[in-house]
Structure 1
Amino acid sequence: MMKTLNADESKTLYALLKSEQSPIDEIAADFNSKFPRARHFVACSSLVLLLQDKKLLHSTQRLVAFAILHQTYASQKSSANPFINFIINTASDDEGEKYERAFILQLLGSDGSSSGKEVLLSQFSLLICIVGRSCPSVVL
């Protein structure tokens, strides 16, 4: 099994990172439909590599990447997520962007309930609107 993404998978992952106008649950569903479970770890490892250099992704793409990292393993205990340490360390980084840290804390605090998902969805949309300066259908 390949331990890196092939060219088509890289294009697919990049397209997902650019889909910030979509709701977070749709982005996660797209990720799950386009990457078989056996490729989740490799795809998420690629996201971590991109996230480690804060200049490689736009701020909205970074939020999408963190959402994918979290949502891919959300049905399991947090300790089963192989990227949980990276996610927590980013949330704890005092030099990180405040909106990014706040979003990660929202991800980590979401309990999977329908009300928790609604808060996460609206928080994601609002952050994309503010950070990306693109608010197509958001009424504040």
Structure 2
Amino acid sequence: MAAPPAPPAGGPDADAPGMHMQRDDRGPGMHRGPGPLKELDLTREQRQQIDRLMREQMHERREITQSYLEKMPAADQKAMRDEIEAKRSKTDSEVRALLKPDQQKQFDEIKKKEDERRAEWAEFKAWKAAKTAKAQ
């Protein structure tokens, strides 16, 4: 029996559409800046705890969304995913256009890695679904 494909680094939510995170003191959903908490002069420990709570909340929201998505007809699921992907791609193009040439090259490398992780995750999910279907 073949070993399952490994889930991509960063877990399932790290590369979900709209779920990109910066890897600094800001948590998920805070990538536009420190937000309203910036005025609180939080300690590093407090920021870490808040980041953990924000990640948990993001994960819970994703689970809720996924549970409703699974109840939709397959055609509607595909349409929704395609629309999200189109918007993500458009935003990526707009962001890239704002960058200097050296930044564009780095941005392209980052996007390539994200696409690879996304493909690995899709492969893992397909393997898991097949395994679950086989067990039933």
Q: Same fold (TM over 0.5)?
A: no
Alignment TM-score, normalising by the size of structure 2: 0.27
Higher relative contact order (CA 8 A, sep 6+): 2
Alignment TM-score, normalising by the size of structure 1: 0.26
